[in-house]
Amino acid sequence: MPSSSAVPSSPGSAASEPAAVAPRATSAKATRRLAVQPEAAAVRERLQRHWRSRAKDAEARRLIRHGVKQIPGCQEHSDADLLPLENAMEFYAFSDGEAVEVEEEPSGYLFVVHEGSLRVRKAGQPAGQLTRGCVFGGDNFLWGAQGLVSAHAEGAAGVWATSGPTFQRLLRQRVEEYAAENARFLASLASFAGLPAKQLALLANAFFEEVVEAGTVLVSKGDTTTALYFVRKGSLRVVDGSAAEGAQELGRIGPGHGFGERALLYGEPRAATVVAVEDCELLRIGAPELRAALGADLLAYLEGCLILAALRGSPTYSEFSFTQQSAIVRAMQVRDFPRDARDVIPSGGELFLLVVIAGNLVRDGVPLLSRGDYLEADGCSIVATAS
């Protein structure tokens, strides 16, 4: 029995999707309310006596990023997210035995050890040693713990540090900027044009950012990863088989184009290998996040996207407004045909738009259409073959 096709609240993504990109992990950011310890004047004065002017070279910045990413909740922040925090860090030098952090007077500062080592006590008991690249102090203001850790220099030692309120403000500011950037990018895509602001905001916070370098093999033919992807910056090369030189190139995927609908809908293996032509930024979202933002009937939503994509590609229907195209989607029906069924499009001279949601169509034994492809036909007989 035919069923009406669901209309998404936005237009769909590209009608043809050659491949999808596997995740390489930077993720969407999430905020949390931070419990910040007050900074007593005596604590600030104690630390200020150890302040030293020191420029941050590339190695110092790498060390700071490495340390901050050890903090729970900060592992998935990108280098760009942490740049304001790097800039806010200042250098403090300590001699042997001097206190960097005191259990009875937690500073609320975040510290990253640059050189030397620190002897740590927790709840009054020895708790090990901190060496180059280690981070400490964050628990005091991130999770509201008080008076848990003290740290004293063993020999000469140097640390980078910033206050808890500064840490909170900079990360929260970057999270808000990140979400706004994502929302603007998603709103510019045909797939989400016209999406209500509330759903767009949910999507913007649910997407994971992926940064890949030129030459990275993102997904190989036969992989079974499933997600929906959009290219924000850069270009990807789609090849048949391996990424070795001489492999047949099937196409390119550039900024503003989305791919992955087929993998998300049907879980089918990747049909090609995808390689980054240059450094790229991608946005990725999985089915659970999509359902949370767009509704439980994700299959119906994405089927509607495929139909809308066909309407946008049609010489006839592309001239219609989005409201008119949405009405056409609601009027269309999804029909199932068994293998070798004939007369999928009955003859009769009437203009039809056919969009393949699943399976393949052939004409006289020659492949004609596959999933996501469309056909405007004025009376013809086509054999449908289900995959």
What is the reported pLDDT for 284? 84
For residue 80, the one-letter residue type is A
pLDDT tens-digit series, residues 182-202:
888 887 776 665 567 777 788
pLDDT band at 159 (very low <50, low <70, confident <90, very high): very high
Domains and CATH numbers, the chain: 41-170 (2.60.120.10), 197-331 (2.60.120.10), 341-386 (no CATH)
What is the reported pLDDT for 353? 79
Closest CA to 151 of 113, 183, 192: 113
Contact 170, 84 (CB under 8 A): yes
Helix (H) or strand (E) holding 4: strand 3-4
pLDDT tens-digit series, residues 351-372:
577 888 777 777 777 777 776 6
What is the reported pLDDT for 158? 96
Range with the poorest average pLDDT among 69-78, 94-103, 150-159 = 69-78
What is the reported pLDDT for 334? 79
What is the reported pLDDT for 73? 62
Range with the poorest average pLDDT among 214-218, 246-250, 332-336, 370-374 = 370-374
Residues in CB range of 152: below 8 A, 6 or more apart: 97, 98, 99, 100, 118, 119
At 155 the three-state DSSP class reads strand
pLDDT band at 302 (very low <50, low <70, confident <90, very high): low
Instruction: Say if residue 117 is exposed, middle or buried (CB neighbours under 10 Å; 0-12, 13-18, 19+).
Output: middle
Q: What helix, strand, coil percent values describe the chain, rounded to 5?
A: 30, 30, 40
Q: In the 8-state DSSP scheme, what is residue 36? A: P
Interatomic CA distance for residues 140 and 147, integer angstroms: 8
Is the model more confident about 362 or about 40? 362
Is the model more confident about 230 or about 77? 230
What is the reported pLDDT for 208? 80
The encoded tokens of residue 311 equal 């309407």
Interatomic CA distance for residues 356 and 337, integer angstroms: 11
Residue 265 in this model has a pLDDT that exceeds 50: yes
Helix axes 58-68, 79-88, angle to 10 degrees: 110
Look at strands 228-233 and 280-285 and give their pairing.
Answer: antiparallel
Q: How many residues are there in the chain? A: 387
Region 26-52 average pLDDT: 58
